[in-house]
Structure 1
Amino acid sequence: MRPPPAMLPPGAEVLGYTVERQLGQGGFGTVYLARNAGQPFALKLLHLTHVGERVEREVSILLKLHHPNVVRLQGHGLWPPGAPRFAAIVMEYVDGRRLDVWADEENPTARQVARVVLDMARALAASHAVGVLHRDVKEVNVMVRASDGVAKLVDFGIGDYEGARGLTVDILPPGTPEYRAPEAWRFFRQHVHVPGARYDAGPPDDLWALGLVLYALLTARKAFDGADDPGFIEDVMTRDPAPPHEENARVPRALGDVCMCLLRKTPETRTVSALAAVTELERVLAGADAAWDVPLCDAYGEDTATTEGGRDSEEKWLRAPLHRPRRGKRAPLPEASGAQVKSEPESHRSSTAWGIAVALLLMLVATPWLRHSRAPQVAPARQEVAASGKSPQAGRAAAPTGPEATAAAVALPATLQEDPATVTTPPKDPQPLQLPPKPAKKGLGVMARAVSTAAACTAIACPGPRVRPPPPPEPCPLGAVTAMEKRGITVGDMQPARFAKGDARVISIGEGPVEIHLMGGWRGLPGNSVLSGRSIVRDRVYARFTWATTPQGDSFPVCFEVHAGEGPRGMAREAGDEPPSRARIWTIAYVRAVAEFE
């Protein structure tokens, strides 16, 4: 089972670096923007127990590389001191955009694309010259610097170098399946049943991936997009994509030819080296004319901001024949009118009204007595089942995993191995979950004391209590909302959960890392899934959960906030003596999916 990544709040100190915000998150680690002496750095934290040797490999690779188009290593160490659980890698911070985001927002010209890919080719040439392979060349691992448009290759976390000891036993090395070269898939097909068979990636694998990136930049389409995984792999091995200049008339023929040379099916016929790719790109750029300065795609306009089902119809437009795709800034979508807003079901409206009434009563008498008296309706769940013990490559090659698996492999930062394919099967409709109420006697006593206190203070004008403000707003982890939507969880959904197993009771909780267990299945999250995050103790107890782990071991980023029933966010503090940094709370709560932490 994968551990949750390090979840640090802004202001946390790690080896002298002050965390500012999260930049990215994968299955084994998290990258933060951190500062030291006022200078920005990228701070990468990785779990030692799972990636100890891989950390040494990444540091060794970065120590070998000194090139303006490769992210620089600034330092490394173990954290926390004394009992380290994480390896910390400090790297140069590239203030800019990921390559895919840059292309989508910038709508670049052929000249701009050629220069960015030239930077990538130079980075690969420098890497290959010292025996280093990246093995995960793709758009999300390239940053385009905002100040000058220079591209930098980042994340050598699954890279390799000559003479390094093998760290995996799978038939194919770690990497993103959509970017694997044809020879890798051919080797897999031929040796899948051969014990001990292992494919050794080489520079041609990085060059193939570079060709796929260039193709997508030129056409805003993938070179290969099979209907299912076996079809996709067959296309990679046997089908040549349409030349970029045929897919998009604005692509210069010379640049399209460079791309097609990188996408030849065998290493022997492919562009011979990254240095040769550098030479070819420099050559075609030297002969570029004014046609290279026209944006490759049509721009979005007011007439293109159409909606279908509440979503931009970009995907439909991209697939429309005889039209170039669109890029650039979108026109804002018109706000839905009252007639277009889908009305809530009657049961939900009544439960909302009940929640408002309870919240008002809570504010009037300052008691938590009623907050667990009613459970929300639990939607039918989709049980998620982890893949079997087979190689994840076998799952990719033998059976389709659907578009969701493909999207996840591209959208999230690289992990040490591909995420195992998941299969979703709809179980029987669950019965509505009834939460155990608090003991009535205790609740009535609290209410009586609260009413008595309110009456006494009204008579003698008691001074108001010192209010500790709730925590400041905070963005969700990158990819969290998308990961939840893929599992059928939408913003606003709520589900009961418990902080501690066993009978419902009052427990003491401190500020810091915290876990909560789901009660019952919840669409794409099975029952007993664990949400990991951190608690914040104020006048109420707040908890923000940013990582989910299913009982089968599947894990992904999420964005949940704890609620006391249908009342306000956070949990009320129960009576009892506790230091300021701790509080007593009821173990049963609700978690609510959010788009950001308020």
Structure 2
Amino acid sequence: MRPPPAILPPGAEVLGYTVEHPLGQGGFGTVYLARSAGQPFALKLLHLPGVGERVEREVSILLKLRHPNVVGLQGYGLWPPGAPQFAAIAMEYVDGRRLDVWADEENPTARQVARVALDVARALAASHAAGVLHRDVKEANVMVRASDGLAKLVDFGIGDYEGARGLTVDILPPGTPEYRAPEAWRFFRQHVHSPGAQYSAGPSDDLWALGLVLYGLLTARKPFDGADDPGFIEAVMVSEPVTPHEVNARVPRALSDVCMRLLEKTPETRTLSALAAVTELERVLGDADATWDVPLCDAFREDTATTEGGRDTEDRWLHAPLYRPRRGKRAPLPAGSTPTAPGTPVKSAPKPRRSSPPWVLVALLLMLVVVGATLLLRTPRVTGRSPARQEVAPSGESPQADRAAVPTGPKATAAAVALPATLQEDSATVTTPSKATQPLQLPSKPTKKGVAVMARAVSAAAACTALACPGPQVRPPPPPEPCPVGAVKAMAKRGIDIGDKQPARFATGDPRIISIGEGPVEINLIGRWKGLPGNSIVSGRSIVRDRVYARLTWATTPQGDSFPVCFDVFAEEGPRGMAREAGEDSPSRARIWTTAYVKAVAEFE
């Protein structure tokens, strides 16, 4: 069996648990929905050579914690028996949504947010009382249960507890950089050149992260920003964030104050303990009135902007109030538009758009008509069909490619089952072109009728701009995320520098077009790095947007050595991600060219 992420088929048996489908994956393993005796469980498989003692640390932590707001441990073992390669941790399955997805889809009220924050604070209070630190409190590690809205803290994979032996030699413990407390960054700056210096995280670090989570829930924004990493770190250490109540007037002032006390710059002035945070949140909830039951953000409707008054002059247009952030269920899209896949992350702080005044629309209309007509008149004569890259059927794939690419057609068998909305996973498929997908022939020359069509199209576009007609939805690139823990260090150890590129391919055999789905993906390395030879396999997940992105987090050499990596995929022509080829309009699948480049990065952009 390959090192992780282990892609187990539905029906696979692991220590008495029957796998149904993956729920998520990381650099060292994969979490599956599995069943035992008819009951659902979250089955976490961790690659033993990669995690070392950390798997025992996670199990020890979960054994110490029994609390309604902490995910519960159900069992633990090594697998396969006799020659184990994985640690299998069976945990309570939380049927619900990640906190960030819940907030985006539900558009919660202040009362709902306070209750969720109270649940997380209670989980931290119980953890700290047991001497346990989570060290990675963030939205992705909180699940909101669908049945009753109860929040549970999950994933203690990089947690720590009193008396435990240190597992890292880095100056900062593992964690998500965006959620590190100011005192951690101050220690880093002061001791970066001090050999052997190590920052010791404490309960106040978890409380700081809770404050960041609460701020985002209340405002749909991040409290700190910077043009680059040093700028962001400086802002965390020095800048005072705008209070949630000032950012969003719907945030009750009392709840805003609770959040700001969690974001004090020093542990001494910050909320003293998780138990104190529980007390404060219970107090403000006890005093809550009807204003706490209004959704914190505008819904996705056209009548919810917070602007007031007309915009019939340039001055009013330039100084019009901004839009409030929007959350909640999207309205059904018009026919022909591309829907966003359920659970797709959205940026928490969308930049507002301001409507243009009438004189701007008129000028824009005239300019577009002139430019469109000029371009049509200058279109060169094209005879025959433009040369296209040939699509061929698969031939001679390796066993790895057999898992990643299967023929499509009436007799094709599905290679993966459908997954929850938060993570759709389908294996790549290779397709043979049909006559219907041959490149279109271009007309030999433009006609006057074409200019008239262009003018009508521009006029319709301008009219829709004035009337707020819905248009096709543009799906933005995926949001940034950190590399797997230890990936940058592992790459440097093997001579892979940040920014290095090597050619790779999504499927073995001649270059061709394949159909790829959103989910697990494997890419074969063609080039050679010092510590990562050709024919190595790098795996991760694909993300289908207007381009297809692949974030690769694990590498396996032909000799069987494996380690975490942080590779982004670039098209041959240069941009990040792969261009979508014609013939596939699905929001969760796309056709792409198989050859690409993988680039070592310090974080996923």
Indicate if the aligned counterparts of 1:62 and 1:73 stay in contact, CA closer than 8 A. yes
* Contiguous gaps of at least 5 residues in structure 2: 306-319, 339-371, 373-378, 396-408, 410-431, 433-475, 492-496, 541-550, 558-562, 570-580, 584-592, 597-605
What residue in structure 1 maps to residue 90 of structure 2?
90
Are the equivalent residues in 1 in contact too, given 2:142–2:154 (CA < 8 A)?
yes
Cα distance change on mapping 1:19 and 1:322 into 2, 3 Å? same
How far residue 164 of structure 1 moved from its aligned partner, in angstroms, is 0.2
How far apart are the structure 2 equivalents of 1:163 and 1:32? 31
Partner of 2:466: none
Identity %: 73
Question: What SS is found at the alignment partner of 2:278?
Answer: helix
By how many angstroms is 1:517 displaced?
2.7
1:10 to partner: Cα distance: 1.0
Distance 1:348 1:80 in 2: 59
Aligned to 1:286: 286
Structure 2 counterpart of 1:530, one-letter code: I
Q: Distance in 2 between matches of 1:436 and 1:474?
A: 17
Counterparts of 1:206 and 1:114 in 2: how far apart (Å)? 17
Match of 2:519 among 462, 477, 482: 477
**Deviation digits for residues 33-56 of structure 1 (CA, Å, limit 9, x no counterpart):** 000011000000001112131000
Q: Deviations over 1:51-71 (max 9, x none)?
A: 131000000000000000000
User: Which secondary structure state, in structure 1, belongs to the residue aligned with residue 78 of structure 2?
Assistant: strand
Mapping for residues 104-123 of structure 1, pairs under 5 Å: 104-123=104-123
TM-score (norm 2): 0.61
Q: Which secondary structure does the structure 1 equivalent of 2:481 belong to?
A: helix
- Aligned AA for 2:144? V
1:216-254 CA distance string (max 9 Å, x none): 000000011211100000000001100000000000000
**DSSP 3-state at the match of 2:158:** coil
Contact 1:178 1:406 in 2 (8 A): no
- Equivalent residues of 2:18, 2:36 under 8 A apart: yes
Task: Letter of the 1:36 partner, please give it.
Answer: S
Q: How does 1:304-319 map to 2 (within 5 A)?
A: none
User: Contact 1:548 / 1:557 at 8 angstroms: preserved in 2?
Assistant: no
Q: Structure 1 13/530 Cα, relative in aligned 2: closer, same or farther at 3 Å?
A: same
Cα RMSD over matched residues?
4.5
**1:27 touches 1:555 (CA, 8 Å); kept in 2?**
no
Q: Kindly indicate whether the alpha-carbon contact (under 8 Å) linking 2:4 and 2:46 is maintained by their aligned counterparts in 1.
A: no
Query: 1:352 Cα shift?
Result: 5.8
* Partners of 1:122 and 1:546 in 2: CA distance: 35
Q: Contact 1:4–1:547 (CA<8 Å) still a contact in 2?
A: no
Letter in 1 for 2:119: D
Structure 1 match to 2:65: 65
Distance 1:287 1:217 in 2: 20
- The 1:555–1:234 alpha-carbon spacing in structure 2 relative to 1, beyond 3 Å, is closer
CA contact (8 A) 1:22 1:477 kept: no
Structure 1 residues 241, 19: CA separation in 2 closer, same or farther (over 3 Å shift)?
same
Question: What is the deviation of 1:476?
Answer: 3.9
The DSSP-based 3-state class of the residue aligned with 1:30 is strand
State the match for 2:238 in structure 1: 238
Query: What does the per-residue CA deviation read over 1:245-283, in whole Å, with 9 as the maximum and x for residues that have no partner?
Result: 000000000000000000000000000000000000000
Task: Provide the residue aligned with 1:517 in structure 2.
Answer: 524
Structure 1 segment 344-423 matched on structure 2, within 5 A: 355=391, 407-409=480-482, 415-417=484-486, 423=498
**TM-score for both structures, normalised by structure 1:** 0.62
What amino acid does structure 1 have at the position aligned with 2:524?
Answer: H
Q: 1:530 aligns with which of 502, 523, 537?
A: 537
The verdict on how the C-alpha distance between 1:516 and 1:199 changes in structure 2, with shifts beyond 3 A counting, is closer
* Pair 1:296–1:163, CA change in 2 (3 A): same
AA matched with 2:481: A
Structure with more relative contact order (C-alpha pairs < 8 Å, separation 6 or more): 1
1:86-106: CA deviation from partner (whole Å, max 9, x where unpaired): 000000000000000000000
Q: CA deviation at 1:202?
A: 0.2
| Contact 1:12/1:18, CA 8 A, preserved across alignment | yes
1:148-199, CA deviations, whole angstroms, 9 ceiling, x for partnerless residues? 0000000000000000000000000000000000000000000001111000
Compared CA separation, residues 417 and 357, structure 1 to 2 (3 A): closer
2:275 corresponds in structure 1 to 275
Deviations 1:539-594 (A, max 9, x none): xxxxxx99763989624699xxxxxxx9x9xxxxxxxxxxxxxxxxxxxxx8589x
* Gap runs ≥5 in structure 1: 306-319, 364-370, 372-402, 438-472, 481-514, 534-544, 559-565, 569-589, 594-598
Instruction: Tell me the residue number matched to 1:131.
Output: 131
Shift in Å at residue 4 of structure 1? 3.4
1:554 aligns with 2:565: yes
> CA 1:357–1:226 in 2, change beyond 3 Å: closer, same or farther?
closer
Q: Distance in 2 between matches of 1:348 and 1:300?
A: 47
Q: For the residues of structure 1 that align with 2:216 and 2:384, how far apart are their CA atoms?
A: 44
- Match runs of 1:8-87 below 5 Å: 8-87=8-87
Q: 1:486 maps to which residue?
A: none
The aligned counterpart of 1:399 is: none
Q: Tell me the secondary structure at the aligned position of residue 22 of structure 2.
A: strand
Q: Tell me how far apart the structure 2 counterparts of residues 348 and 550 of structure 1 sit (CA, whole Å).
A: 46
Q: 2:264: which partner in 1?
A: 264
1:301 Cα shift? 1.7
Deviation, 1:322, is 2.9
